[in-house]
A and B are shown apart, each in its own frame.
Chain A
Amino acid sequence: MTSRKRKHPLRWLLYTFLSLAALGWSAPLLLAVYASLRPYDETARLGYLSLPESLTLDYYTQAWTQAELPKYYLNTLIIVIPGVILTLLLASFAAFTIARLRIPGRKTLLIVFTAGNLLPPQVLITPLYTMYTWIELPEWLSSSHSLYDSYLGLILIHVAFQFGFCTFVMANFMATIPEEINEAALVDGASVWRRYWQLTLPLCRPVIAALSTLQFTWMYNDFLWALVLMSSGDKLPVTSALNNLRGQFFTDYNLLAAGSILVALPTLIIFQLLHKQFVAGLTLGATKG
C-alpha cells in the first residue's frame, strides 16, 4: 500500500507532462486549421493568436477551384497508384527469388538494393535529370516527348528508389514462412510463377498492407522528384503544386494554410483508418522477421 501512495504524485506528473506534450504537438496543425478559417485582413490586424470575428470556408473554396486542387490530386493518383503497385510487384518477386528460391548472389543483391534506398536523392539527381531530358518518348506516353516532365518518369524513379526497402522487408518476412509449404509445392511440380503468386504472396498479406500504406504516404508526400523532374505546372502532383499558392509578390498565408490542410488531409485520413498498417510499415524495417 505504501508504494502505491508513493507512486501517485509521480503518475500525476507523468499524465500532466504527456498531456502538455500531446497538446503542444497538436497545436501547429490546429493552428493551421484555425488560420485557414479566418479572412486575411482579420489575422493581419489581430495576429493568428486572437479570437475570431468571423469564420469562413472561403479559402477552401478558393484553393479547391482557383488553385485547381482536384486536378493536382488526380496527377498525384496517376503517379502514386502505378508507383505503389509496380514497387510492390517488383519487390515481392525479387524478395521471392532471394528468400525462397535462394538464387546465387542473393546477399549481395539484397545489400545493393537496400543501400540504394538509403542514398539521399540529391547524390544522383543531377545525372538523372540530364538522362531524363535525353530519353525520347512517343506522344501517347509523354506530352513533352521525353522522360523529363512526364508521369512515367516520376513513376519510374519512385519505383526504383523505393523497391529496395520493400524487397528487404519482404525477403525478411518470406524467410519466416515455413519451408514445408514450398517443398510440398515442389513435389507437386508447381511452376515458379504458381509458387510466387498463389503460394507465397497470399501469406504476405499483412506485409503488403503495411508496405502499401507506407509507400502511398511516402510517394504522396514527395516534393523533390516532381520539383526537379517536372516542368509543366499543370502536371505537378498535389504536394509540389502547393508551392503555387504562394504569390509572386504577396503570399496569403491563410490560403496557404487551407491548401496545406487539403494536401495533408488524405494522409491524415489514411493514418486514422490504417493506423495499424502504417505503424507496422514504419517498424517493419526496424524489427526483423
Chain B
Amino acid sequence: MTIRDRLLIFVGLGLAIAADLFLIWGPTLASVGLSTTDWDGISAINVVGAENYHDLAAEYPPFWSAVTNNLLWLAFLGLVATPLGLLFAVLLDRRLRFSRVYQSALYTPVVLSLAVVGFIAQLVYSSDYGVLNAVTGLTTDWLGDPSLNIWVVMVAAAWRHIGYVMIIYLAGLKAVDPSLKEAAAIDGANEAQAFFRVVFPTLRPINVIVLVITVIEALRAFDIVYAINKGRNGLELLSVLVTENIVGEASRIGFGSAIATVLLVISLGFIVTYLTQLFREPR
C-alpha cells in the first residue's frame, strides 16, 4: 500500500469514526455523566450522585406514567401488532389475486412520518366530529381522556408497525425453502402445523430482527404523541420527558439526562442481545 492509500483510509475511516464518537457515543456517555449532576446548562456543575434518580422515582409522577406507557407500548406492539404483521405476511405469501394491491394498502403507512400519523389520528378520534364517534354513535373524548388515549394512539402506531413487520416477514418467508413445506405436506401436516413446526423455526434470525425493531420502535416512540398533545395528559413517554427538559421552559439537563440514562440502559440490553445474534453466526 502506498502512502496515498494509507492517507485515504485514514481520512475516510477517520471521518466515520469521528462522527460516530463525537455525535453519537460521546453525547451518550455525557448523558450518563451528567445524570449525576444538577446542571442547568448555565451555572457551575455540581455532582449530586444518585439524587436525580431518587427524585425521578420518588418525586416525579410523570416518570412512572411514562415507564408504564412505554411498557404498554412495547407489550401492545409485541403481542398484538407484530403477530398481526406476521399473520398478514403468512396470508399474503401464496399465489393470490391482487396480492400487490393488498400488500400496497397494508404497507403504505410505513412511508408516513409518525408526526403525520399523529395528525391523521386526530381526524379519526376527534370527540366532536371524528369518524370513530360518528360510526359508533359514542361521544367519547378518545384523545382527551387520560385513561383511554394511550390505547387509541397505540392503535394508530400499530397501523404503521404492522405493515413494517409484514414486509420483513414476507421477505423472510420468500427465502424459506419450498421443499420444506412440501415435505411437511407429504407427511400429512396441515397448513398450521407446517407453519408452526417447520417454517416458523427457520425464521429465527428474522424473529430476532423483528423483535429488535419492535423494541426500538417502542422506546423511540415520540413524534406521534408529540404531534397529538406534546405527550401530556396520559400520553407521557420517556422520550417525551427527556425532550421536555430541553425544549421546555426549565432547562434541567442533569435531571433530563437521568431519564435518558434509564432509556439507555433498557435499550442497551436489547441492542446487545441483537448484535450477539447478528455477529455470532459464521458468515
Interfacial residues, chain A to chain B (CB-CB below 8 A): 14-15, 17-19, 21-23, 25-26, 28-29, 31-32, 35, 43-44, 46-50, 90-91, 93-94, 97, 101, 103, 107, 109-116, 118-131, 156-157, 159-161, 163-164, 167, 172, 175, 191-193, 217, 220-224, 227-228, 239-240, 242-243, 253, 256-257, 259-260, 263-264, 267-268, 270-271, 275, 278-279, 282-283, 285-289
Contact = CB atoms under 8 A, between A and B. Distances in A.
B9 A282 contact: no
B13 A94 contact: yes
B263 A239 contact: no
Contacts of B206: 286-287
Contacts of B135: 49
A48 B119 contact: no
A228 B246 contact: yes
Contacts of B219: 120
B279 A253 contact: no
Contacts of A286: 168, 171-172, 206, 209-210
Given A227-B243, A279-B167, A119 B91 contact: no
Contacts of A161: 23-24
B238 A271 contact: no
Given A90-B15, A118-B212, A221 B122 contact: no
Chain B CB within 10 Å, residue with most, of A17, A228, A279: A279
B2 A18 contact: no
Contacts of A164: 20, 24
A49 B131 contact: yes
Given A125-B243, A221-B113, A286-B171, A22 B220 contact: no
B116 interface: yes
B227 A228 contact: no
B52 to A, nearest CB: 12
Contact of A256 (B24, B111, B122, B159): B122
Contact of B28 (A49, A103, A119): A119
A282 B110 contact: yes
Q: Rank and list the top 7 A-B pairs by shortest CB-CB distance, nearest first.
A: A221-B113, A127-B30, A22-B105, A160-B23, A283-B171, A124-B27, A49-B134
Contacts of A22: 101-102, 105-106
A52 B17 CA distance: 57
Interface in B74-132: 88, 91-92, 96-97, 101-102, 104-116, 119-124, 126, 128-131
B16 A126 contact: no
Given A192-B8, A257-B123, A264-B112, A124 B13 contact: no
Interface residues of B, number: 99
B146 interface: no
Nearest to A22: B105
Contacts, number: 286
B141 to A, nearest CB: 15
Nearest to B175: A287
A25 B119 contact: no
Contacts of B209: 285-286
Given A31-B131, A191-B4, A268 B28 contact: no
Given A94-B12, A287-B206, 5 more contacts: A28-B120, A118-B212, A127-B30, A163-B19, A164-B20
Given A22-B106, A191-B5, A287-B175, A278 B111 contact: yes
A120 B1 CA distance: 40
Interface string B183-218: 000000000000000000000011001101000100
Contacts of A222: 113
Contacts of A275: 104
A170 B89 CA distance: 26
